[in-house]
Amino acid sequence: MIEDVRQAIEDLKAGKLVVIVDDDDREAEGDLVGLASLATGENVNFMTKHARGLICSPVSKEIAERLDLFPMIDVNTDPHGTAFTVSVDHSSTTTGISAFERAKTIRALADDNSKSSDFQRPGHMFPLVGRQGGVLKRRGHTEASLDLAKLAGDVQASYICEILKDDGTMARRNDLFAFAEEWGLTIIDVNDIARYMSFEDNVLVNLPSSHGDFDLRLLEDEQGKEHLFISKGEISNKKPYLLRLHSECLTGDVFGSYRCDCGEQLQTALEKIEAEGQGAVLYLRQEGRGIGLKNKLRAYQLQEKGIDTYDANLALGFAADERDYGIAADILSYLGIRDVDLLTNNPNKVEQLEQAGIHVHERIPLIIKPHQENQLYLQVKKEKFHHILNF
């Protein structure tokens, strides 16, 4: 979650270690991670004693080039392309293997004043070169640790160590959460870091409109979907923030379709926010209850044959509603919004936000007068999707 990433950043800045877990379909492993500039003998010793894996020191491409950290081998056959360089010790060390001498080497790798001649080769520390673009280009612990260093405002250099169990086998997800709890460490997922890094590259512009003057912010998620935050006034948690979660509906929002009430709900929400003087519509790219535009139109074809909107999605092989509001909760957390008054008739939105840590102070109905063309659609929303409608 976004708040976990923020906590990890603060922990790293304080010189602490955190745990990063990667994808189950990648290595499904966890690494202890620290900032190289703040490396200590005590932390390195903790890694050797409790994590037990190989201690490496990820660095940016720029650092690797400046310090002549050349690839360990010309042809890299590692399954994940881990970019090992020739191992090093700082020239001031003796054997270089003690926890405290390894910490000295790690700190030197992060030192802007260090030069190539300050290091002996080979040594006992293993630099890794991070892929440019970070976790958005490669979902590895190397890139994740360097992205965290960047978010912490530090030099892009870190130190990491794989976590093994007592019996010498790899610790997997459940083991890693137990490990983090045992030692009081923040644990985060590589995907959470990727999402945070995607949000960092947001774009903000002014949006004068027929409903008023708004700010428009584009936030891209780690899958490349471009979500929109259309807001008025300053974001503040002094009182609940007026919010509409609105899933994209091209036919309703743009073409004014009467097959649904989406477009009119969007317009009404913007009008209410303008009247309030503060609030936002979070416009989520989840067309057709999450099944996409093409499949939504296929569902329309089935509806024209007498199948309702709920069963049409099922007939196409989808859940009745595929939408996931976890992305909404992460965007709100990223923007610092924790308490909302939610413009919705859909109790599922309330439940998902609450489960994700966003407090819904009040649900505000957003009732649109039915048209002849969408009366059945609205009845199905009420009876099968359990929307709270007073007709």
Portions of the chain given CATH number 3.40.50.10990: 202-286+323-385
Q: Does domain 202-286+323-385 have CATH number 3.40.50.10990?
A: yes
Over range 197-217, report the average pLDDT.
96
**Residue 122 preceded by cis peptide, ω within 30:** yes
Calpha distance 175→50 (Å, rounded): 13
Q: Would you say 140 is a known binding-site residue?
A: yes
Handedness of CA 126, 131, 137, 143 (dihedral sign): positive
Query: Is the pLDDT assigned to residue 266 strictly greater than 70?
Result: yes
Nearest-CA neighbor of 365 among 387, 340, 348?
A: 387
Q: Would you say 330 is a known binding-site residue?
A: no
Calpha distance 70→192 (Å, rounded): 31
Give residue 75's pLDDT: 80
Calpha distance 332→328 (Å, rounded): 6
Over range 117-135, report the average pLDDT.
96
Q: Would you say 27 is a known binding-site residue?
A: yes
How many alpha carbons fall within 13 Å on the CB side of residue 386? 7
Superfamily of domain 2-197: DHBP synthase (3.90.870.10)
Burial pattern 63-77, b for ≥16 Cβ within 10 A else e, equals bbeebebeebeeeee
Give residue 237's pLDDT: 81
Portions of the chain given CATH number 3.90.870.10: 2-197
Query: Is the pLDDT assigned to residue 391 strictly greater than 80?
Result: no
DSSP code, position 245: E
Q: Would you say 52 is a known binding-site residue?
A: no
Over range 137-143, report the average pLDDT.
93
Q: Would you say 141 is a known binding-site residue?
A: yes
Give residue 26's pLDDT: 64
pLDDT, one tens digit per residue, over 73-86 is 888 887 777 889 99
pLDDT, one tens digit per residue, over 153-184 is 999 999 999 999 999 999 999 999 999 999 99
Which residues partner with 214 through β-bridges? 207
The SS3 call for residue 162 is strand
Calpha distance 160→385 (Å, rounded): 47
**How many C-beta atoms surround the C-beta of residue 239 within 10 A?**
10
Calpha distance 166→162 (Å, rounded): 13
DSSP per-residue codes, 264-285? HHHHHHHHHHHHHT-EEEEEE-
Q: Would you say 248 is a known binding-site residue?
A: yes
Backbone angles phi, psi at 52, to 5 degrees: 75, -5
Q: Which residues are catalytic?
A: 321, 323
Q: Would you say 288 is a known binding-site residue?
A: yes
Nearest-CA neighbor of 156 among 172, 137, 133?
A: 133
How many alpha carbons fall within 13 Å on the CB side of residue 64? 22
